[in-house]
Amino acid sequence: MASVGPYGVRPGHALITMVEPHPGHEYSYNRWYEDDHYIAGAMAMPWIYAGRRWVAPRDLQLLRYPADSAVASPVTAGCYLSTYWITEGRYDEHMKWTVGINRRLNRDGRVHHGRTHVFTAFHDHAATVYRDGAAGPRDHHALDHPYAGLVLEVVDAAGPERRNALLEWLRTRRLPGRLRGSAAAMVTVFRPTPLPGDRMTYVKQVEGVDTRLTLLWFLEEDPRDQWEERFGGLGEAVAATGLGRVELVAPFVPTVPGTDRYVDRLR
């Protein structure tokens, strides 16, 4: 695989997965993901070159909106978020590997079933908007740089024919204005892709592949700081354009690898 084909550094694709451990399984789920699945089910695979886990303790869950989210029901569901970058142009090869290894992990009893996939999708990169232009970390550094927080935003266009216009408005107007002078260093924007037909049965097929945009805001400060001033009103701004609707705005902080920090603060 390495002797031919793309081998650049851009995050051409991403796996973004938001998961809710079942009540009573919080510690066992976290230990399984930290000690096994993050490596065997992701980072050890070809063409994944960066990854990071994020967590939403209960106080962060309660900041989410809108209440009638099409992504999370209830909107507080999905207290863990994992994000991975995949080398541009290597999506198909990676998918063959990930389906194979996850079938093997499941067969070998190395899959934790006390969890629900709230929002799990592979994505194609659509845009990155930077607060500071050419200064600072690039998007391929984003999962390794010690950012203090992340906000997941999911926006659905009013129809497939409106998604390109929505993306252009976000890229050229809304995101530059919101980033200016803020604690967010960059926003990466992705388009979801359908999961393969031979995916694991406990992962539902991706919704909104023709209409949805997934945004990741990388923050240099805790998302709790000035939350309303910085992230309030995102839904109203999108709705006013007539281009779409914000379906989820959800803040997270990074997990501390190898630990159970925050597990006792999820409920």
Profile the chain (267 residues) by mean pLDDT over runs of 10 residues: 88 97 98 97 96 98 97 97 97 92 94 95 97 94 98 97 98 96 97 75 74 98 95 95 97 98 98
- For 111-125, letters b (16+ CB in 10 Å) and e give bbeebeebbbbbbeb
Specify the amino acid at residue 207: E
Residue 162: which of 230, 99, 211, 118 has the closest Cα?
211
Q: Which CATH number fits domain 11-254: 3.40.710.10, 1.10.10.10, 3.30.70.100, 3.60.9.10?
A: 3.30.70.100
pLDDT computed for residue 31 by the predictor: 98
pLDDT computed for residue 239 by the predictor: 96
Q: What are the backbone angles phi and psi of residue 189, rounded to the nearest 5°?
A: -120, 135
pLDDT computed for residue 195 by the predictor: 77
pLDDT computed for residue 245 by the predictor: 98
Whole-angstrom distance, CA of residue 230 vs CA of residue 10: 28
pLDDT computed for residue 197 by the predictor: 65
pLDDT computed for residue 87 by the predictor: 97
Q: Note the pTM of the prediction, 2 decimals.
A: 0.95
Do the beta carbons of residue 60 and residue 152 sit within 8 Å?
no
pLDDT computed for residue 2 by the predictor: 79
Residue 21: which of 31, 8, 6, 13 has the closest Cα?
31
Query: Measured in Å, how far apart are the chain's first and last C-alpha atoms?
Result: 44
Whole-angstrom distance, CA of residue 110 vs CA of residue 102: 9
Residue 78: which of 59, 61, 53 has the closest Cα?
61
Whole-angstrom distance, CA of residue 30 vs CA of residue 36: 10
Bridge partners for 211 per DSSP = none
**Dihedral (Cα; 190, 193, 195, 196), 10-degree rounding:** -140
